[in-house]
Amino acid sequence: SDVPGTFRELLGGGEVDAERIRSARILYLEGYLFDRPEAKAAFRQAADIATKAGRQVALSLSDPFCVDRHRPEFLKLIKESVDILFANETEVISLYETANFDAAARQVQTDTKLSALTRSEKGSVILSAGRSIAIPAAPVAKVVDTTGAGDLYAAGFLFGVATGKDHEAAGRLGSLAAGEIISHLGARPEVKLAELAREQGLLG
């Protein structure tokens, strides 16, 4: 872009594309964009458009420091507007200011319809309607670079949800995508994720 600054600095109501949101199955919001008042308003605006159009709203907390800065507003947004929450272990513990993951998981289960909580080598936990599903981490020969792991997990999980997979299959898709990305440098897959999913029997 020839506009000075980054998208993080510029996110506001002008960047919200109502028609694109209405045409999507799921709106995905990333918490690291939440800092400025204009950005918070844009999040609420986008979530409202999606909800009124019968679409789902997903939020990734993205960063524990961002959670620390905006805890009350994140909690309000989650309780009022979010259908699917993504958080890693550190982020969800920070969100609820609890001593451990299990306590945070109990809290998040009361506040969300569906949550995917990632735990690095421990895999992830999918929480919905009183149900908890443990998803193992995808086996990786060597962890090289964790950049993008959370985003790829969310991408795989949301693909599963959007294509009608059950929550366990969606979690396995997320785990598979995250496992691929941490096996090499950089945040873009080096192999086709669809092929990996087919090899694992997760795609027809």
Q: What is the pLDDT along the chain (204 residues), one digit of tens a residue?
A: 333 333 445 566 567 889 999 999 999 999 988 888 898 999 999 999 999 999 999 999 988 898 999 999 999 999 999 999 999 999 999 999 998 999 999 999 999 999 999 999 999 999 998 899 999 998 887 888 787 889 999 999 999 999 999 999 999 999 999 988 888 787 787 778 887 788 888 887
CB atoms within 10 A of CB 178: 28
Residue 130: its pLDDT value, please? 81
The tokens describing 183, both together, are 């096996």
On whether the pTM is more than 0.95, the answer is no
The pLDDT value recorded for residue 179 is 86
> What pLDDT sits at residue 23?
95
pLDDT at 12: 61
**What whole-number distance in Å separates Cα of residue 112 and Cα of residue 189?**
30
Helix, strand, coil share of the chain (percent; to 5): 55, 15, 30
Nearest CA among 104, 42, 103 for reference residue 67: 104
**Of these residues, 2, 68, 111, 151, which one is catalytic?**
151
68 is catalytic: no
Say what the pLDDT of residue 110 is.
93
Q: Can you give the pLDDT at residue 156?
A: 95
